[in-house]
Structure formats: structure tokens, C-alpha cells
Amino acid sequence: MNERISKLKRIMKQENIDHVLVTDYYNLKYFINLDLNSGERMIVLLVSKDKENILFINELFSLPSSKHYKSIYYNDTDDCISLLSNHLSGKEIYIDGKWTASFLLRLMTRFSADYKDASHLITKLRAIKDTKEIQLLLKASLDNDEVMKKIFPYIKLGISEKEIYNHLLLEIENLTHEPVPFDPIVAFGKNASNPHHISNDTILQKGDVCLIDMGCRHQGYCSDMTRTFLQKNEKMEEIYEIVKNANRLAIETIQPGKKFSEIDKVARDYINSFGYGQYFTHRLGHGIGLEVHEGYDVSSTSETVIEEGMCFSIEPGIYLPDVGGVRIEDLVIVSKKGAIVLNSFSKEKQFILKGLSYR
């Protein structure tokens, strides 16, 4: 049996859980490497403590057979929920948190049990990356570096955010041939003071920063990196150094056994010590993997303990309303000895190239 399902079964035995129903696209990709969007049609991987795994799937999506599970095909006229409920037993059924109410409510009328949310179990497993996953995450981050290098020369006075944004999408598509994990952010000048700015027709003007937050995918695994490029501007250069050091100090603090809140605190305290605490308005980071946000947050309230193999972002920022903002974001993997940064694109102060303007 594959190692990921085996781990889930070990937890089920420890906690005496009879059944877990895996239904979400990403969870199915994680456990059985299935890349299938079944639309409105039910798809359930039934993982049982002591029995073989069964995939319930519509016959429209025929799959090669697998040694990791048996497949039960149904058609559009079958009662797929009855087929599933016939294979259930016990008092507690753990359900993928992403399953829809329509299916869950139907199952509840067929099989009486105590239904519980399996999200925490699956999140915990997915948070610890194996060697294969680390390789894919690293490649996705190297692709990100590569695209950022190609984009940098385009950043010139007179260009618009949307033009850089379009270049970015094109370079990512050409390099990776995979969908982007999220809409990239390109923000100039005061637009960079909004952490979630949507790129528009704003033109790059003298003194403006250019903030780029982007990601690629490699075999589904996501990367996520932010860099902020400068022009001569005392205030922005000042906060750049603070954010850069906050990023570095947080990364240096990461160790298995520490809590996420401790890492967040290091960056937040540092930014606070310069009086900019109120302008760092979001959590320090987020887990990442098959989804761009998965697993655990790096936040002031997260008591979760860091473990070897976790992958997450470290992305301090200072956002000065109506002035501008700086964010520097890296992905890290946790090793025994601490964090390994997946991006290699420089974090040293970089100035937008001078010369002829774009137009």
C-alpha cells in the first residue's frame, strides 16, 4: 500500500477511527495521485481501518486499476450514496471537510452514525512533505526565480502594472505549462500599500517601488515568492532593510519543536522595534504544497509545533497607506537543523534599471 494511505491508517488505528471518506480534489491527488475533477458527480475514496480501500467513481471516468484501492464504478442512474453506505460500519464516520452538504445530507439519511470532520487528520499528514514532494516544491521555486529574472528587465518607468502582469503570465506559461497557483500581484508605488492589490493600468513613476508576488506550479506543487524593487526613495529604502532583516531573523529562528507563533513574534517584534508594527497587517506566513494555502499558518495565534518536512512562507511586510509598501517572501522547508530557503532570487536591495523609459 502506498505510504501516504498507510500513515492515515496508522492514525486511524491509534484513534480507533473506522472510516475516513476522502473526496476533495487535492486530497485525492495527495493520497492516490488522482488528477480528476468529477464536477457534480460523487467521488469518494473510502479508507477503512481494517479493510481494503475503495474508490467510488462514476463510470464516465474510467481509470487504470490500482494496487492501492479497489474501484467501484457507478453510472448516472445508480444511487451512488447507497453503494457507498453499504460499505460503512461502526459509529463514527470521518468526512473530508470539503465534501458538499448535498452528498453528506444524503449519506446521513442512509447510514446513521456520528459524522465528524476529517480535515485536521488530513491537514496534519499533508503538512509534512516527503522527499518527492520537497523536490517538486524546490523545482517550482526555481521556476519562480527564473521567471523573476526574466521579468526584472521589463520594469521601467512608463510601463503599466498590467503589462508586467501579462509578461509574467506568459513567461510562467512558457516555462511551466501549468496553471498558476494564484493571480500574480504587480503593485507600483502607493498601490503596494495594499497587500492584495489587483494589477491595473497604473504607470510606473519616478520614486515608486514595484512589488511582485508570484507563483508557479510544478506537477501541481506550488511556489510563492515576493520581491520589491526600489527606486531612490528614502522611506522605501528604510523600510526595505527592516523587512529584509525581519525575513532573515524569522527564517533563522525556525527549528523543529518551536511554535509557529514564536516565529511570527520574531519578525513582528523586530518590525515593532522600528515603530512600524501597526503597518505589518497580516500573518507572517502560510503552509503550501499542492495548494497555495494549506496546512498551518505562521501567525501570532498558532500554537502548532513546527516539524521537519513542513513547508511554508515567511513574508513580512510594511504597508504605509497612500505611500507604498514592501514585502519580501520566501518559501522554506524545515530540516533537522532549521529552515532551508527554496528561492534563490536575491533579497538584497535592487534598483529598477535606469535608461530609456518604456514608451
Contacting residues toward its own copies, per CB under 8 A: 39-40, 77, 95-102, 104-106, 108, 115-117, 119, 293, 301
Q: How far is the CB of 187 from its own copies (least distance, A)?
A: 18
**Cα–Cα nearest to 139, from 343, 345, 347:** 343
Secondary structure (DSSP) of 128-157: B--HHHHHHHHHHHHHHHHHHHHHGGG--T
| Whole-number Å distance between alpha carbons of 185 and 155 | 14
Would you tell me how many other CB atoms lie within 10 Å of the CB of residue 8? 22
Q: Which residues, other chains included, contact 157 with Cβ-Cβ below 8 Å and sequence gap of 6+?
A: 204, 205, 206, 352, 357, 358
Question: What is the smallest separation between the CB atom of 252 and its own copies, expressed in angstroms?
Answer: 27
DSSP 8-state class, residue 160: B
User: What sign does the dihedral 300-304-307-311 (CA atoms) show?
Assistant: negative
C-alpha cell at 38: 468529477
**In whole angstroms, how close is the CB of 103 to its own copies at the nearest point?**
8
Q: How far is the CB of 57 from its own copies (least distance, A)?
A: 16
For its own copies, the closer of residues 229 and 312 by Cβ is 312
98 versus 265: smaller Cβ distance to its own copies: 98
CA distance 280 to 46: 43
Shortest distance (Å) from residue 280 CB to its own copies: 16
Q: Measured from the CB atom, is 105 or 305 closer to its own copies? A: 105
In this structure, which amino acid lies at residue 213?
D
| Cα(210)–Cα(204) distance, integer angstroms | 8
Closer to its own copies by Cβ: residue 95 or 342: 95
24 versus 145: smaller Cβ distance to its own copies: 24
| Cβ closest to its own copies, residue 96 vs residue 208 | 96
**Least Cβ distance, residue 82 to its own copies (angstroms):** 16
Residue 50 identity: D
For the chain, what's the residue count?
A: 359
List, in order, residues 6 or more apart from 97 with CB less than 8 Å away: 24, 117, 118, 119
Is the CB of 102 or the CB of 205 nearer to its own copies? Answer: 102
> Could you tell me the smallest distance in angstroms from the CB atom of residue 182 to its own copies?
11
